Amino acid sequence: MKTPGAIDLINALAPRRRVRFVGGHRYGPGPRQAVDLYLPDGAAGPVPAVVFFYGGGWEEGARRDYRFVGAALAARGIMVVLPDYRLYPEVTQPGFMADGAAALSWARDHAHDFGADPARMFLLGHSAGAYIAAMLALDPQWGGAPLAGVIGLAGPYDFTPDTPELVAMFPSGAGLPAVMPVNHVSALAPPMLLATGVRDRTVLPRNSERLAAGLMAHGVPVALRQYRGIGHKLVLGAIARPLQVAAPVLADSLRFIAAPREAA
């Protein structure tokens, strides 16, 4: 019998009342090109929708491990689309970006089917997933219909690949700036909430600071939240019921979704 890990325990404590789970819808033909849905059961009228991209350094991750994120938001009246996406070494940049764009397109096309409002479509990402969310929002080659807003948790928005795996994933030399979210900021960007832990040593807080500064310079509504006393993992983990005392990540995210243009 498998010994439960921390993620299993956190997911076991995720809300179940007022949450309906729908698993395994496909947005592409590959084994990892599928989404799970967390739906607010009994919600009246079209609800906001969030597409959540998890982290893992573009090398690991599985949508089943993030029930605590989907259920936390669905219990508060938000539809959550939680995709898997292809990982290294199967793909490099832009392979995981292509999957992110396809998952977002699926969410837009099917929002009405599940009681959500495609005009209130948000992206949420942690770490590598925050990179995907930011690039989808900022780089015109991935753009489609406008987004209502983006929530980035501990995202690498302006970095230099410094491990053999990252060097293999991302272009080198003159091609690197083109795949950094911070270099695609414009006045057309959607409102953003950028959150980071002050003690994060995996993705340094300056990534969020630089992206926030760029958005502010272009007049884009942006809120920068720097939570004291927490690091890289807990900035996402604080969404989970037993860890919410660590930082108000869930409360800040809910306020942003309710009024993204009042973020600042």
Q: Give the model confidence (pLDDT) of 177-214 as tens digits.
A: 999 999 999 999 999 999 999 999 999 999 999 999 99
Tell me the residue range of the domain where 22 lies.
6-262
Whether 22 contacts 63, CB under 8 Å:
no
Q: Check which CATH number belongs to the domain holding 113 and give it.
A: 3.40.50.1820
Counting residues of the chain whose pLDDT is more than 90, the rounded percentage is 94
Q: How many Å apart are CA 239 and CA 72, to the nearest integer?
A: 7
**Number of domains the chain contains:** 1
In a domain, 103, yes or no: yes
What is the helix (H) or strand (E) element at residue 19, kind and residue range? strand 19-26
Say what the pTM is: 0.97
Q: How many Å apart are CA 260 and CA 150, to the nearest integer?
A: 9
Q: How many Å apart are CA 242 and CA 246, to the nearest integer?
A: 9
Strands (E), 205-261: 222-227
In a domain, 1, yes or no: no
What is the helix (H) or strand (E) element at residue 117, kind and residue range? strand 116-126
- Digit-coded pLDDT (tens) for 28-63: 999 999 999 999 998 888 999 999 999 999 999 999
The residues that bridge with 128 in the sheet, in sequence order, are none
Count Cβ atoms below 10 Å from residue 72 Cβ, excluding itself.
23
Of 76, 69, 65, 66, the C-alpha closest to 17 is 76
In a domain, 120, yes or no: yes
